[in-house]
Structure 1
Amino acid sequence: MMENNSTHYIRPIGEVYLPVNSRPLVVESNIIKFFDDSDVRQPNRIFTHLKRGGLALVSGAQGEIQQLAEYLQKRRNELVSYEKPAYDRKRDRRNRTSTRRERVKPTGIEPQKRLMVLADSEGKLQLDPSPELPFLIELIGELEGINGKFPFLLPWEQLTDIQSALSIQYMLEGFECSFLAGQSVLPPKSQETTDLFRRGLKTLSYPDQILDLGCGSGILTILARTEFPTAQVTAVDIMPEALATTKINLKNHRKLDLVSVYHSDLFQGISDKTFDVILFNAPWVVARSRSRSELPTNDEKQKILTRFFEQVGNHLKPNGDLLLGYADHSGPNAIKKLADLIDHFGFKNHEQYKARVSTHRSNKKWQTISVYHLRRRF
């Protein structure tokens, strides 16, 4: 269901759906103006419109729009105003002898974010040539079908970021095809994690219903479907861009029609379903998410992990198996909290598969990743 401020009239196109991230841009700008391919070849016209505070919706050849974006970036300082920090008397006294210049902060909207492109209601971009980007509305972080019958716009910068992310291929042993990852989606780079889940799956005896909770790139979804070709596999995630990534990878691995994919915050979107096997590669960094790209890895005060254990008992069949991925990245206290949750909610650790992997942290070069094979105690 669309909100009241979710569409905007743009001449000569008509009503256009505004993705959530773009709405503040529309509010802060004076007017959205459409520029066709002939206008794109006259960058000064678009530059003048942006300098007056407007948004530019462009169509035409991708190469020419990229040249326009580069032109605007070169003249960025003319489009973005700057402000000095507020005067601080005490700081001024301390730094009176210093030659360090005060930093100034940019204000307003970056020009690259004010250059927009249009996709039709089905997600086909109005560009020449139109890039092949299936599930585009989800790739930009919106729910499937949220735009209804309306075309939608997105910043050119976001489009190029998505294309850049999807241009990288990740090849892991044991799969016929490579994997992709959309913007803000955790890339499927860990061969060790995949192998640990594979070891756990190989100990199971032909489950009927399998759930991949927090499917991300869909690598565990595809792994489960490969190990158990007759099972009904369900994949869920809270991030629309993860659902799009999962569906793209399922399509590339010729398994899209064999898996059900849903938007869900943990079990919220599948509250009536139960499963023989639940896979959950839980976020393992005990810290607040500072950006959207940290949502798949960060879990402040292990709130997500706690909510998971509070709910999982209602969705795992009595003799079901739970394969839970976790790492000791955040130290022994986080692992102890996990052990306490396992015990408190009536589970036991049937088996633990472990691997020691290198990290990019200066203070901790190695960490242990584990897949816990959990079953009910009674």
Structure 2
Amino acid sequence: MTIVNWTESGAQRTARWRAENGASAPSVIVVIDDQTSATVALRLARSGSGLLWRGDFHNARQLMRAMDRRIQQRTARAPRGSEPTGLFRANRKDRSQRAALLGRIVIALEPDYTIRLRRAPDVRAACEHVFGQPLVERDDVTGDVMLIPLPELLGFIGAYEWHRKGIEIASLGTRIHPACGVFAPTRNEYLDLVAEAPLPSCVDHPIVFDIGTGTGVLAAILARRGAGEVIATDLNPRAVQCAQENMQRLGLAERVHVVMADLWPEGNRRADLIVCNPPWIPGRPTSALELGIYDPESTVLNRFLDELPDHLTPEGEAWLLLSDLAEHLGLRSRDTLLQRIAAAGLMVTGKRVAAPRHSRATDSGDPLHAARARERTVLWRLSTRCG
């Protein structure tokens, strides 16, 4: 537990620091309020100070937006090349710096997760969803006051609404309820590919492994399509709990078994069908949520391919769901992927392709628009035998 100290109204104050993205606690805390301008706040943030907000809650959001506009205006004036890889890296750097600066605005949560600010929303349920129940016993040092970055708090509120309301999944005809820190199934193209691809013909009711299940949405789709048993794995405890809860809601808990595992379920069982939708961009994630998108040096993808033959039945197949955005960004070539598949002793027996339907694909203002417009999601059918 990291403790932060500051002086406020002539008194020494202490609180716990909590940042889900792993950001370090600020060494200096400056108290700001409705009278603080975005220019002053940004200057303090650039100096490394944490900005403890003590004004109207809605005005804190306005300040954050004003700071963000200034940051993006400065970024837009910076020289940029046209080479995709350089654009991607510059964009990642800009986003990281922007997030760090805006994350300097911090909010104090009381021991029961309330916020003592004017017009503050009730965030208790959202915080319990992320942190668990509030501590019962009061800490004599910090009083259990917690400082968290404002952008994270707003993210918790949005994530909790998604969790509460759920996301409509057309191929299921119902809703999946994501959890905070678990990648939400908002891109329909890969869901449709799994819903429409022909199941392996080796058995009538295949045994399926869903590797890196997240919310469990693919496991649910395959169970509804007639899988005899689905074993869904994930290394994220929140994802495991989220998928288990979704299977209970959908009445699939007896056929879909969600377990915590680093890719593969324990034991020597093999599957007739193995499905994996790994992170698709080689790069370093900056938060837990980005683990679903960024995979340093394609480690997860390469491990999955290398170890796949040991987990398939002789007549079984695997479905690798992978966006080709990395190819258009110059981060991984199609030849590199195919060579890696072949080196693992696997063969491509077919593929299905879907164009993206998310908003970024048509956003001409996105610095990476040229690459995103060409992006396709591919379901690679892999086997240890020749099709």
User: Which bin holds the TM-score, normalised by the shorter protein?
Assistant: 0.5 to 0.7
Determine the C-alpha separation between the residues in 1 that align with 2:101 and 2:275.
45
CA deviation map 1:34-71 (0-9, x unaligned): xxxxxxxxxxxxx879x7332289xxxxxxxxxxxxx9
SS of the residue corresponding to residue 350 of structure 1 reads: strand
**Structure 1 position 293 matched with structure 2 position 269:** no
**Structure 1 position 221 matched with structure 2 position 181:** no
CA deviation map 1:249-273 (0-9, x unaligned): 2233222343221222222x53544
Structure 2 residue runs of 5 or longer lacking an equivalent are 18-30, 49-99, 114-121
Determine the C-alpha separation between the residues in 2 that align with 1:107 and 1:159.
12
Q: What does residue 176 of structure 1 align with?
A: 173
Q: What does residue 158 of structure 2 align with?
A: 164
Question: What amino acid sits opposite 2:109 in the alignment?
Answer: L
Among 266, 273, 290, the alignment partner of 1:270 is 266
Aligned 8 A contact 1:279 1:324 in 2:
yes
Q: What does residue 375 of structure 1 align with?
A: 383
Q: How does 1:102-251 map to 2 (within 5 A)?
A: 111-112=106-107, 114-117=108-111, 131=125, 136=129, 139=130, 161-168=155-162, 169-204=166-201, 205-228=203-226, 231-251=228-248
The count of residues paired between Structure 1 and Structure 2 equals 288
Deviation at 1:82, TM superposition (A): 4.4
Q: What does residue 52 of structure 1 align with?
A: 12
Determine the C-alpha separation between the residues in 1 that align with 2:138 and 2:267.
32
Deviation at 1:223, TM superposition (A): 0.5
Deviation at 1:356, TM superposition (A): 1.9
Q: What does residue 335 of structure 1 align with?
A: 334
Determine the C-alpha separation between the residues in 2 that align with 1:318 and 1:175.
30
CA deviation map 1:282-302 (0-9, x unaligned): 211122212222110112222
Structure 1 range deviating more: 305-314 or 169-178: 169-178
Q: 1:54 to 1:311 in 2, by over 3 A?
A: same
Question: What amino acid sits opposite 1:336 in the alignment?
Answer: D
Question: What amino acid sits opposite 1:180 in the alignment?
Answer: H
Structure 1 range deviating more: 243-252 or 208-217: 243-252
**Structure 1 position 345 matched with structure 2 position 352:** no
Determine the C-alpha separation between the residues in 2 that align with 1:117 and 1:273.
47
SS of the residue corresponding to residue 330 of structure 1 reads: helix
SS of the residue corresponding to residue 363 of structure 1 reads: helix
Higher relative contact order (CA 8 A, sep 6+): 2
Aligned 8 A contact 2:126 2:160 in 1:
no
CA deviation map 1:65-120 (0-9, x unaligned): xxxxxx9975999x99948759xxxxxxxxxxxxxxxxxx98998542x425469x
Determine the C-alpha separation between the residues in 1 that align with 2:323 and 2:102.
40
Which has more radius of gyration? 1
Determine the C-alpha separation between the residues in 2 that align with 1:289 and 1:130.
28
SS of the residue corresponding to residue 173 of structure 2 reads: coil
Aligned 8 A contact 1:200 1:323 in 2:
no
Q: 1:84 to 1:292 in 2, by over 3 A?
A: closer
**Structure 1 position 362 matched with structure 2 position 359:** no
Q: 1:170 to 1:76 in 2, by over 3 A?
A: farther
Provide the identity percentage: 18
Determine the C-alpha separation between the residues in 2 that align with 1:132 and 1:108.
19
SS of the residue corresponding to residue 243 of structure 1 reads: helix
Provide the TM-score with structure 2 as the length reference: 0.61
Aligned 8 A contact 1:55 1:116 in 2:
no
Structure 1 residue runs of 5 or longer lacking an equivalent are 1-22, 31-46, 58-70, 87-104, 120-127, 143-148
Question: What amino acid sits opposite 2:294 in the alignment?
Answer: N
Aligned 8 A contact 2:244 2:253 in 1:
yes
Determine the C-alpha separation between the residues in 2 that align with 1:322 and 1:179.
24
Determine the C-alpha separation between the residues in 2 that align with 1:213 and 1:249.
16
Deviation at 1:329, TM superposition (A): 0.2
Aligned 8 A contact 2:349 2:381 in 1:
yes
Determine the C-alpha separation between the residues in 2 that align with 1:150 and 1:346.
57
CA deviation map 1:141-164 (0-9, x unaligned): x9xxxxxx9999887776764342
Determine the C-alpha separation between the residues in 2 that align with 1:118 and 1:206.
53
SS of the residue corresponding to residue 180 of structure 2 reads: coil
Q: What does residue 302 of structure 2 align with?
A: 306
Question: What amino acid sits opposite 1:301 in the alignment?
Answer: E
Deviation at 1:349, TM superposition (A): 1.2
Determine the C-alpha separation between the residues in 2 that align with 1:349 and 1:182.
34
Determine the C-alpha separation between the residues in 2 that align with 1:75 and 1:238.
45
Determine the C-alpha separation between the residues in 1 that align with 2:45 and 2:186.
42
Q: How does 1:82-121 map to 2 (within 5 A)?
A: 82=44, 111-112=106-107, 114-117=108-111
Aligned 8 A contact 2:346 2:384 in 1:
yes
Aligned 8 A contact 2:200 2:273 in 1:
no
